[in-house]
Amino acid sequence: MIQVVINRVDQKIKAFEVSGHADSGPMGQDLVCAGVSAITFGAVNAIIKLCEIDPIIDQAGDEGGYLRVELPTELPFMSKEKAEWLLEGMLVSLETIELDYDQFISISEK
């Protein structure tokens, strides 16, 4: 199962962690894994390009199954606000997957 943990500070997403494997289909054909990967990596790429910031990223090697992203603490207001909105959009997309595939993905917040 894929576990997504959203870390909030003052009700704003400051970091997220994705771990595990969905195992909802054969390797290379796992739609839940592909969807979660596309959403999370797309959000990170958008933060880097559109907000012009470099988040703190920790990810697994070739075996996959782990991604942790944290926004730097010191950011210009506009970049910070844009990044937070992009992360909220990412969460909405992940929750949409969870609605139909909750046996393969679980989302929690702390």
pLDDT band (50, 70, 90) for residue 11 = very high
Q: What is the pLDDT of residue 77?
A: 87
Catalytic residue selected from 4, 33, 44, 69: 33
Contacts of 52 (CB under 8 A, 6+ apart): 79
For the chain, where are the alpha helices, taking DSSP H only? 31-50, 77-100
pTM for the full predicted model:
0.93
Q: Give the domain range for residue 68.
A: 2-109
- Active-site annotation holds for 51: no
Tally of residues, the chain: 110
The total number of structural domains in the chain stands at: 1
101: CATH: 3.30.70.1490
Catalytic residue selected from 8, 12, 21, 68: 21
Whether 75 has a pLDDT exceeding 90, the answer reads no
Strand 66-70 relative to strand 56-59: parallel, antiparallel, unpaired?
Answer: antiparallel
